[in-house]
Amino acid sequence: MSERKYACPHCSQNIAYTDDYSGMQLPCPRCQTTIIFPGLAAPRQASTLRLAGAVAPRKSRFNFSFAAIAELLGKFKHWKIAAMCAVPFAVVAGAVVAANAYNHHQTPPAAPVPVEVQVDPKALDTLTDLTRADQVVQEKLAAVTAAAASCKDAEHKQQLARSQHLPSSAATIQAADVADARAHLVLTAARKAFDAAFAQYQKLGGTVDYRAQLP
């Protein structure tokens, strides 16, 4: 099965795919924009146009026999003018021939070395795995963001419970401390899950640095 290449129209990412995926829609591994792989070109049909009848050969208006050409040349009376006009063309032709002869004696330029490109037969499978890994990393990033927001809320409530300006019982302070501890545990677990997903994403060739988006 032959392989083809298609460049994402949004981020110019080169994607390798086989004929089975022609016409399918998949997200681009770099920009996550849905793209449609080009379909196969329709085979050209042979022409069925035929002539209705035999075409008569076209007759020449002039007789190009040797005798006729010699007769025309003999009647020409301006050979001297024609020779004078031909001198500049002869000089230019001689200069061109001399230049070509000089160039042939020079060392010819080295031929370019063809570059061999190794195509991975499992490129499409790798693309699918990378797309899934990218989705997982984004989900783990969202979980870390939510956990971080919960931690800030718990810390704020804990500060209010321990504030000297507001009356708070021991039970209220203890409950605020427990909620804050639980929020930090959830945030720690979410960060570990994100680190594992991001490591797998980079292993498959992911290039987006989702760590910069962590809260």
DSSP conformation letters of 72-85: HHHH---HHHHHHH
The rounded distance, in Å, linking the Cα atoms of 40 and 31 is: 25
Which tokens belong to 177?
């401390």
Which tokens belong to 158?
């804990």
> Is residue 53 over pLDDT 50?
no
pLDDT at 50: 45
Q: How many CA atoms lie within 13 A of 114 on its CB side?
A: 3
Condensed to tens digits (0 to 9), the pLDDT of residues 166-198 reads 666 788 888 888 999 999 999 999 999 999 999
Q: What is the DSSP letter of 4?
A: E
Q: Where are the domains of the chain?
A: 1-40, 125-215
Least confident of 46-60, 104-118, 152-166, 200-214: 46-60
Confidence band of 19 (pLDDT split at 50, 70, 90)? confident
pLDDT at 21: 77
* Higher-pLDDT residue of 70, 116: 70
46 close to 35: Cβ distance less than 8 angstroms? no
What is the pLDDT averaged over residues 118-135?
75
β-bridge mates for residue 36, sequence order: 25
The rounded distance, in Å, linking the Cα atoms of 95 and 61 is: 39
Q: How many CA atoms lie within 13 A of 46 on its CB side?
A: 2
CB atoms within 10 A of CB 137: 24
pLDDT at 46: 44
Q: What pTM does this model have?
A: 0.42
Confidence band of 73 (pLDDT split at 50, 70, 90)? low
Confidence band of 104 (pLDDT split at 50, 70, 90)? low
pLDDT at 201: 92
